[in-house]
């Protein structure tokens, strides 16, 4: 389960961070702290998402 979680998190974390950074840039937030906060939020939000997806895959496999 943890191995599958790690693989999914490695894909979901940067993806969500990139989406949130793009949203911040769209809102004209070009400063460094906004980019750092956006990336951190993306990586934190990816944890429960990756956990749920890994759990669903593990249960249905």
pLDDT string in tens for the chain (61-residue length): 899 999 999 999 999 999 999 999 999 999 999 999 999 999 999 999 999 999 999 999 7
pLDDT at 1: 87
Q: State how far Cα 26 lies from the chain centre.
A: 19
User: By CB neighbour count within 10 A (0-12 exposed, 13-18 middle, 19+ buried), where does 3 fall?
Assistant: exposed
pLDDT of residue 61: 75
Instruction: Return the number of other C-beta atoms located less than 10 Å from residue 27's C-beta.
Output: 9
The reported pTM is 0.88
């Amino acid at each position: 389960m943890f191995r599958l979680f790690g693989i999914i998190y490695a894909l979901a974390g940067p993806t969500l961070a990139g989406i949130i950074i793009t949203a911040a840039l769209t809102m004209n937030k070009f400063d460094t702290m906004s980019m750092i906060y956006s990336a951190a939020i993306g990586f934190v939000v990816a944890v429960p998402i990756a956990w749920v997806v890994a759990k669903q895959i593990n249960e249905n496999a």
